[in-house]
Amino acid sequence: MKSFLGSFVNLAFAVAAQLAGAVATPEFLAYMDYFIRKEYGDDYYLHVDDVVDLSMHSRTIDKVITDGFEQVVYCLNEPAGARNFQSIFWNIAYFDKPYFEGMFEDFVFPDGSPMIWESVNWLQKRFMKWFNAERKRALLTFPVETVNLLDNGIDFVDQEWADYAAEMWSEGHSFFMYRSDSVDSLASCCRLRNEVQDNQFSYTLGAGGVSTGSKCVMTLNINRIVQETFAEHKDEYGWTRSTFWDEGYENRIIILNEVIAEQVSRVHDYLKAFNTILMDRYHAGLIPLYDAGFVNPERQYLTVGINGLIEAAEFLGCAITSDGIHYKTFVNNVLSVIHTLNVMNRTKECMFNCEYVPAENLGVKNATWDAKDGLFVPRKCYNSYFYLVEDEHTNPIDKFIMHGKEFTQFLDGGSALHCNLDEHLTKEQYRKLMQIAIKTGCPYFTFNIPNTVCRDCGHISKHMLKKCPKCGSENLDWATRVIGYLKLISSFSEARQKEAALRYYAGGIDAET
């Protein structure tokens, strides 16, 4: 187990040095389980209190395991020299039983043995509990965790895991949930399949696919495209912002769609060119990650990113609400144009998808460039959600609707709902919101409750406080998830700090904090 964990850390650094993006190891815990079983038997999880260490520490199996977690997590949160001293963006995944079986039923270890659900199940839960507790001692950013749950359209299939996830949220843990009513949606990107599915949705944002992801992302600034098209047609067709949705709007939408389609086709061409160069290097044996089989270039996507979508809708006078009919029409038009072309232009070597990208830096850059050119720019950092982060009238249920089927049905690469709350809910309340995720068809979401870090005594609280409960200091910082990973607000870029301050946390706490 120790050798495995040590090699794993080295491998993660070696892989990350060759990539700009995230390093996702969804099977990390399933592999670790194998090595624990080698040492303490297949039923180790049934007697974790056995003392197995003859040193002065007299450690139990449980302690040996959590020490292993500690080693990997603390090492991987260290700065990486080969990445400009940024940490590795490390993702892991938890699977419920149906997903685990769907993903790994054909998998065998080199000795021919299969994975075992019972012990992996225990280890997944143990890691989650340990990580949540450890985050009270240190602000650990990575791994970003995703719980993958299958549902039948009404409720979750694996009730044990649905309950456990709700319990972990209620205990203040922070993680993403991916839900779907098909095992294929996750497994299809992980297993080689002969048939090409017409409607293959693949989340490249971090849900649990194995050896997949995105090869390259090129992002469209929808706000600029819309406004430039608008300016072009203003005089000729008499377009005005206040009358865009009046009679005959269908024709105006068709014109917008044509311009967007043209841009998407160009992006596809650039991505194809990128892919040709990449495959050339691959066939010349110059990409060790591919040669070693850690990533499969044939399962990776070329991604059309979008940014400035909500701002474009605002420009066109849409009310950004869950029942905003113009807003919904606009979003579905833009996304269906991209989705149709993604399917149409797919070749054997090139699969395209579309992602509502987090745009950590690009959201600020686009807003700055557009403002400089005199365009309508409603905020200093373009939103990466389907709702307005600063809008106090958007309640959590509206947010689920706006990240649900009605808005995201054509978004084949994913978006993440960050449901900001100012206080933790109970297990039952989270369970209800998970149910709402099924009902609204929201596939990928998380809850954000800012943690408070005392600058004087170092105390970390899972709550959003204005006073340190330990020493009474008001010299505080808050940690939240602005893009996908947990970080101190004071460590964000300046524009992101301002955006974080504007965020509305449901429950009514003063947003100025």
Task: Classify the C-alpha dihedral 103-108-114-120 as positive or negative.
Answer: negative
Beta carbon of residue 459, minimum distance to Zn ion (angstroms, whole number): 4
In the complex with Zn ion, the residue whose CB is nearer, 137 or 372, is: 137
Which residues are paired to 479 by β-bridges?
Answer: 451, 488
294 by Cβ neighbours in 10 Å (0-12 / 13-18 / 19+) ranks as: middle
Beta carbon of residue 461, minimum distance to Zn ion (angstroms, whole number): 9
In the complex with Zn ion, the residue whose CB is nearer, 442 or 468, is: 468
Beta carbon of residue 477, minimum distance to Zn ion (angstroms, whole number): 11
179 by Cβ neighbours in 10 Å (0-12 / 13-18 / 19+) ranks as: buried
One-letter amino acid of 318:
C
In the complex with Zn ion, the residue whose CB is nearer, 226 or 454, is: 454
Residue 80 DSSP code: B
Cα dihedral 174/434/500/85 (nearest 10): 40
Q: Taking a C-beta distance cutoff of 8 angstroms, is the pair 354, 342 a contact?
A: yes
Beta carbon of residue 138, minimum distance to Zn ion (angstroms, whole number): 15
Beta carbon of residue 467, minimum distance to Zn ion (angstroms, whole number): 9
In the complex with Zn ion, the residue whose CB is nearer, 98 or 450, is: 450
Beta carbon of residue 451, minimum distance to Zn ion (angstroms, whole number): 13
Q: How far apart are CA 274 and CA 257, in angstroms?
A: 25
Beta carbon of residue 472, minimum distance to Zn ion (angstroms, whole number): 7
Instruction: Work out the end-to-end distance of the chain between its first and last CA atoms, rounded to an integer number of angstroms.
Output: 45
Q: Taking a C-beta distance cutoff of 8 angstroms, is the pair 295, 189 a contact?
A: no
In the complex with Zn ion, the residue whose CB is nearer, 275 or 461, is: 461
Beta strand extents in 270-366 (DSSP E only): 300-307, 352-356
Beta carbon of residue 510, minimum distance to Zn ion (angstroms, whole number): 20
Instruction: Give the footprint of Zn ion on this chain (CB under 5 A).
Output: 454, 456-457, 459, 468, 470-471, 473
In the complex with Zn ion, the residue whose CB is nearer, 240 or 473, is: 473
**How many other C-beta atoms lie within 10 A of the C-beta of residue 246?**
9
Give 441's Cβ-side CA count (13 Å radius): 10
In the complex with Zn ion, the residue whose CB is nearer, 38 or 459, is: 459
In the complex with Zn ion, the residue whose CB is nearer, 108 or 471, is: 471
Which phi and psi angles does 416 have, rounded to 5°?
-120, 130
Which phi and psi angles does 306 have, rounded to 5°?
-125, 145
